[in-house]
Homo-oligomer: A and B are copies of this chain.
C-alpha cells in the first residue's frame, strides 16, 4: 500500500462530488475514477463529461486499493452505503465522507465496526449556497480547509496519512478535529448562522414581500445568501445535529437579549461599549487569522 490510492469512487455526484471529479480530471491525476449517483442519469452525465469510467450505477467488484468518498446529504448515507456495499472489497478500501454534521454517521459506525475501522471522516469547508453537478467546478478545494476526523483510534495511521495526501493533492489544507468536537464547533460557526439566515429571510419575506431587496443595495442579498442553500442538505444537518444546534440557538438568543435590553435601557454609553468591544475583538481575531 503506497501513499496514494489506485482507485477513487465518488458516491453522490453533486456540487462536492462533482468538484472532486473535475479537479482530478483537471490535474490529470492517475487514479482510476468511478462515480455513482442515486439519480443514474447524473452518473451517465458524469461519464459523458469524461469524469468517471463507469457509465451506469452497476459497478464491477473493486478489489484494488480504493478511496470511497460519500458526498451525499448526511441522512442519505446509509442508502448510499448500500449502493456500493456489495461491490467493494472492504479489506482494501478507505471510506470517507464530506458531511457538515457527523453525529448520524457516527451512530452508523458504532453499529458497524467493520466499516468504522476503515473510516476517516472529512469535511471540506467550501460552503456554497449552490448545489448539483452543474454548479461543480475544478479547484473548488484549492487552499480550502478540510477537517479530518479519525473515528477509530486503533485504525492504521497510514489510512489517515493517505487521506491527508489525497486532499492535499486536490489542493486543500488539512486540519484534525474529533467528530464530537467537530459537531459542537460547527453548530456554532456554521449551522447557527444558517438557521439565523433562514429565520431572517422567512421574517423579511413575510413582512416585506417584494420590497425585501428593493432598497438594500446588495448587502442584504449577500447577508441572506446562505438561506438559498440546498434545503435537503440543511434539513439533514438540522436533524442530525439537532441537540448542538438548539443549544447554539439558545446561546445566541441570550446574546440577542443582552443587546435588546441595552437598547431598551437607552443607556448610550453601555450600548457603545458593547458594540466597541464586539468590533475590537472581531477585528483582532480576523487579523490574527489572516
Contacts and interface: CB of A to CB of B under 8 A. Distances in A.
Interface stretch (A78-86, A114-122, A238-246): A238-246
A150 to B, nearest CB: 16
Chain A interface secondary structure, helix, strand, loop or mixed? helix
Contacts of A289: 213-214, 221
A288 B227 contact: no
Interface in A225-268: 226-229, 231-232, 234-235, 238-239, 242, 245-246, 249, 251-256, 258-260, 263-264, 266, 268
A198 B278 contact: yes
Interface stretch (A24-32, A42-50, A87-95, A188-196): A188-196
B196 A256 contact: yes
A112 interface: no
Range for the number of chain A residues in contact with chain B: 35 or more
A151 interface: no
Interface in A191-228: 192-193, 195-196, 198-208, 210-217, 219-224, 226-228
Contacts of A211: 185
Residue in A239, A283, A288 with the greatest tally of chain B CB atoms within 10 Å: A239
A153 interface: no
Interface of A: 75, 125-127, 144-145, 147, 175, 177, 185-186, 188-190, 192-193, 195-196, 198-208, 210-217, 219-224, 226-229, 231-232, 234-235, 238-239, 242, 245-246, 249, 251-256, 258-260, 263-264, 266, 268, 271-272, 274-276, 278-279, 281-283, 285-286, 288-289
Considering the complex of A and B, which 4 residue pairs feature the smallest CB-CB distances, nearest first?
A125-B217, A231-B275, A203-B255, A199-B256
